[in-house]
Amino acid sequence: MRVKIINIILIAVLMSFNCLAFDIIAHRGASGYLPEHTLEATTLAHTQHPSYIEQDVVLTKDDIPIVLHDIYLDNVTNVAQKFPERARADNRYYVIDFTLKEIRSLSVHERKNAHGKQVFPDRYQGSHAHFTVATLAEHLELIAQLNHQTQRSIGIYPEIKAPAWHRQQGKDISAITLSVLNDFGYLNNASAIILQCFDFNEIKRIREELGFEGKLVQLIGAQNLAILGSAQSIKSLAEIADGVGPSFYQLLDKDALSQGNIKPQDWIIQAKRNGLLIHPYTLRADQLPSGMSLEQVTTILSKLQVDGVFTDHVPLVKAALESTAK
């Protein structure tokens, strides 16, 4: 489907909001260039000068928060070769079944699908360098050091992954993660951190029970679209959270899109009325929305006046935003 972006329908309410700074979030580090969530990907991301670098957080068997996207190890490491007997009945290798020491012995590679094919075939293809899984503490220390060495203040954007699942396994991932954030001063430096989670109950708990005072972003996926379903539910969310992280596709009216027109979904206006930041995911230069160029996507983001975007390709998105602004 070719989308005619000239048909962007702008709503007066949207236009009345000031266009504040646009946050660029390095999604899983510089994951478009190096294996995601490795220290190398974080280091490269830092050199690309995003507003924030993202850390997905899961817990090991010995309760150490590590930076990894899945509760499984098999899509991004050689765990199946190294520990073939340690899969569960569903044939998955769970982070929570392995100690940090064991996980450190694994080699991280580009994300692969169940058939062993690289999910993004044109990304990093080397096979000799040994990338490893690192802890949240190691990532935070690295970013703090790079900020200090380069006189920058690039923020962090950790995601608490699957808190209900961790609880079922007897672990309180949020409390443990907050404790590490506290070790690095992030609980007293609200401008340097945004914490994100898909689980609204956990967002509420992090705010009310665990007392986190920094910015909280409620991620939105197919499973919790109802949060954006009414003016009242958006208002309730805004009492707890500072922002929402929807998919790019949740920004646009689907009926209008099927006609080739770009029209913001109604919830965007309500979210803005309630002061919620909007940080959509995930802009990938090698997996763009059908029929759109990167510049067309950044034009839409600018017109919608969202507050930022998660991207695997910080430099390309920056360049596209600059060309859009001209």
Minimum Å distance from CB 18 to Ca ion?
Answer: 28
When the beta carbons of 224 and 324 are compared against Ca ion, the nearer one is 224
Residue from 36, 40, 110, 159 touching Ca ion (CB under 5 A): that is 159
Beta bridge partners of 324: none
Site string for Ca ion, 2-41 (x = CB under 5 A): ----------------------------------------
When the beta carbons of 69 and 109 are compared against Ca ion, the nearer one is 69
Q: Which residue is nearest to Ca ion (CB)?
A: 159
Question: H helices within 25-127, ranges in order?
Answer: 39-47, 79-82, 100-104
Minimum Å distance from CB 320 to Ca ion?
Answer: 22
When the beta carbons of 159 and 199 are compared against Ca ion, the nearer one is 159
**Does residue 312 interact with Ca ion by CB under 5 A?**
no
Minimum Å distance from CB 263 to Ca ion?
Answer: 28
Strands (DSSP E) found in 118-203:
155-160, 194-197
Catalytic: which of 37, 46, 69, 109? Answer: 69
Closest CA relative to residue 65, chosen from 202, 183, 242: 183
CB 306 within 8 A of CB 297: no
Helix, strand or coil, per DSSP, at residue 219: strand
Site for Ca ion in 50-69 (CB under 5 A): 56
CB 294 within 8 A of CB 316: yes
CB 302 within 8 A of CB 320: no
The footprint of Ca ion on this chain (CB under 5 A) covers a number of residues equal to 2
When the beta carbons of 3 and 26 are compared against Ca ion, the nearer one is 26
Instruction: Mark whether 27 is an active-site residue.
Output: yes
Instruction: Mark whether 313 is an active-site residue.
Output: no
Closest CA relative to residue 317, chosen from 55, 14, 32, 69: 32
Half-sphere exposure in the Cβ direction for 263 (13 Å, CA) = 12
Minimum Å distance from CB 54 to Ca ion?
Answer: 6
Q: Is the peptide bond before 282 cis (omega within 30 degrees of 0)?
A: yes
Q: Which residues are catalytic?
A: 27, 69
Residues of this chain that bind Ca ion (CB under 5 A): 56, 159
